[in-house]
Amino acid sequence: MSYPYQIKSLEQYHTDYKKSVDDPEAFWAAVADNFYWKKKWDKVLEWNFTEPKIEWYKGGKLNITENCIDRHLPTMAEKPAIIWEPNNPEERIRTVTYARLHKRVCQFAQVLKNNGVKKGDRVCIYMGMVPELAYAVLGCARIGAIHSVIFGGFSAQSIADRLEDAQAEFIVTCDGAYRGDKIIPLKAVIDDALIGNKLVKKVIVYTRTRMPVSMIKGRDIWWEDEMEFAEGQVEKDGVVSFPAEEMDAEDPLFILYTSGSTGKPKGVVHSVAGYMIWTAYTFVNMFQYNKGDVHFCTADIGWITGHSYIVYGPLAAGATSLMFEGIPTWPNAGRFWDIIGKHKVNILYTAPTAIRSLMSFGDAPLAGKDFSSLKVLGTVGEPINEEAWHWYNENIGNKNCPIVDTWWQTETAGTLISNLAGITPAKPGWATLPLPGVQPIIVDEKGDEITEKDEHGMLKGNLCIKAPWPGVLRTTYGDHERCRVNYFATYPNLYFTGDGAIKDENGNYKITGRVDDVLNISGHRIGTAEVENAINMHSGVVESAVVGYPHDIKGQGIYAYVIYNGHHGDENQRRQDISLTVAKIIGAIAKPDKIQFVSGLPKTRSGKIMRRILRKIAEGETENLGDSSTLLDPEVVNEIKDGKI
């Protein structure tokens, strides 16, 4: 069964696209009519990009959990909403039906209420990939609390910064998390993050590993005890209920922190209605999801991909979402392929970095696996190189599954540019065409539209979007000016993506990568300034400069140039100390892949580091480093070049 808002042909794509641009209000009203509103909106769209102020479905009242759960109950109560595959393949699978999901979310909403959480309060969630993470997220949404999920790989310091920025008073965590053959002590990290914190009132701890944890009286409480108590409150005579808070369409749904070009992560804020419409609409259309299909998105819910395409998008569409706790290479590199066979997965959505990593194990892990259930493949997070695309197409898709290359960002809520599986054509390495409602434009440094083709017949420049789509970020938490400056001020009246792109004669877009000081490491965004700040925290470091370089598996690796003035250890020990410092300040994901000690950095007379030169050296370029005439000390470049590792 398909959806009323599902695009079913190439022709329909073009007519829908045109409608969405000619009359966005009529187009998005028709889509929104397929959802459950406690009260319909007064006005579909009001906006300006100068403040910015963007309001979708103004005056509308709804609760996203009623759309993701309750409205499916009459027809789908016993259908699986979430299938959970544990880290250890020997452990029991859990299948969460829509009825069970409803009960657990109501219970957890009651737990939050019992502990004093109110609409608008910020709840920080730091958990492993267990179904309880989805219950926690949806429980918050049920009562109108604003969740802020933090990926389990972030350090105590990162959590402390985010708690402070969000002024969070509540935390939901696990004792520990399983990740391959490792156990991550999540509660212990939270304990460290809370040293000196005066705001957090309650920490709810779900038992996953039953590892020893410290539980502070009056503050730390067990998930299981709370849920058991709440069960009696929400269930009467076998009927489960917990009223869903009436939310304004523009009330914030969640905060998700992401790196930018400054040292401090930004709390991207998405609002209830627009986010729901955008994730559901894009989910159904790009994957061509049909009722009953099993959708497997391999991301972690700690990132936007997991928010939008494991939890909200699929559930808003009444889909079956497979949630995986483990990693692709444990107990062996056939783990994804086993899961596909075991659960008869129809849609696989993963990152190019995972594909390249699994490719590197050769054919052996593919032998004997059953890929016959697969209908659609997808990629997200970074540009996919053609070699990986073809490997994915031939070995996993058996040349029989469309591959969608979905380009989007934390700030966009869901996909903006992608082919639609089997409907619009794919082009390897290209995100291809914008979804309805998305109006991309390629501009030059000054913000003028590029109209002249380059030597390859392409339009090439910086990628912006001309008008709001329902899922565009509304603000950055606690600092609206930062949102304006970051996204809406570079070019007047345009949303600036921070990406470069090229456009071919058929209107297809290829994303060429970030044009700001943001790295994309294994599909995760990390700002160079953030890594530099962390490196500079090490006592022996005088100064540092961080750039990206091409990495076979990760896409980009982190290359750090460091001026060091300490006396402890040899170079390798110093490297390890610096890496550990970065892991403590940010998290293991931000550890530099290469650290080169230098005596100076190439700077202009005004003291600005010439990153362009450093980037070229890290990329292995020895000639053509560009103009160095403005450098204070050109000689330092030769030294750095000679010392390249």
Among 70, 220, 405, 517, binds ligand WT7 (CB under 6 A): 405
Neighbours of 246 (CB within 10 A): 14
CB of 88 to ligand WT7, least distance (A): 27
CB of 509 to ligand WT7, least distance (A): 9
CB of 427 to ligand WT7, least distance (A): 12
Q: Which is nearer to ligand WT7, 248 or 405 (CB)?
A: 405
Element (H, E) at 10: helix 10-22
Does residue 514 belong to the site contacting ligand WT7 (CB under 6 A)? yes
CB of 407 to ligand WT7, least distance (A): 4
Neighbours of 469 (CB within 10 A): 28
- What is the contact mask toward ligand WT7 in residues 442 to 461, using x (rule: CB under 6 A)? --------------------
- What is the contact mask toward ligand WT7 in residues 251 to 270, using x (rule: CB under 6 A)? -------x------------
Among 279, 410, 533, 596, binds ligand WT7 (CB under 6 A): 410
Question: Smallest Cα–Cα separation from 468: which of 413, 426, 517, 538?
Answer: 413
Return the DSSP state at 631. B
Q: Which is nearer to ligand WT7, 525 or 554 (CB)?
A: 525
Give the binding range for ligand WT7 (CB under 6 A) out of 17-25, 284-292, 509-517, 559-567. Answer: 509-517
**Rounded to the nearest 5 degrees, what angle is found at the Cα of 149, between the Cα atoms of 194 and 275?**
150
Give the binding range for ligand WT7 (CB under 6 A) out of 96-104, 419-427, 448-456, 495-503. Answer: 495-503
Q: Distance of CA 169 to CAs 198, 215, 643, Å?
A: 9, 17, 49
CB 310 within 8 A of CB 323: yes
Instruction: Output the six-digit token pair for 223.
Output: 């998930």
- How far apart CA 278 and CA 283 sit, in angstroms, is 8
Does residue 382 belong to the site contacting ligand WT7 (CB under 6 A)? yes
Among 128, 306, 381, 437, binds ligand WT7 (CB under 6 A): 381
Question: Smallest Cα–Cα separation from 558: which of 520, 584, 611, 586?
Answer: 520
The interface with ligand WT7 within residues 295-324 (CB under 6 A) comprises 304-305
Question: Smallest Cα–Cα separation from 112: which of 200, 226, 207, 234?
Answer: 226
- What is the contact mask toward ligand WT7 in residues 418 to 437, using x (rule: CB under 6 A)? -------------x------
* Per-residue buried b or exposed e for 159-171, using 16+ beta carbons within 10 Å of the residue's own CB: bbbbbebbebbbb
User: How are strands ordered across the β-sheet holding 459-465?
Assistant: 440-443, 459-465, 495-503, 509-514
Does residue 409 belong to the site contacting ligand WT7 (CB under 6 A)? yes
Give the binding range for ligand WT7 (CB under 6 A) out of 434-442, 451-459, 517-525, 557-565. Answer: 517-525
- What is the contact mask toward ligand WT7 in residues 535 to 574, using x (rule: CB under 6 A)? ----------------------------------------
- How far apart CA 549 and CA 611 sit, in angstroms, is 12
509-514 and 294-297 as β-strands: parallel, antiparallel, unpaired?
A: unpaired
Q: Which is nearer to ligand WT7, 67 or 415 (CB)?
A: 415
- How far apart CA 567 and CA 534 sit, in angstroms, is 20
Does residue 530 belong to the site contacting ligand WT7 (CB under 6 A)? no
Q: Which is nearer to ligand WT7, 203 or 511 (CB)?
A: 511
Give me the residues that bind ligand WT7 (CB under 6 A), please. Answer: 258, 304-305, 380-383, 405-410, 431, 497-499, 511, 513-514, 520, 523, 525
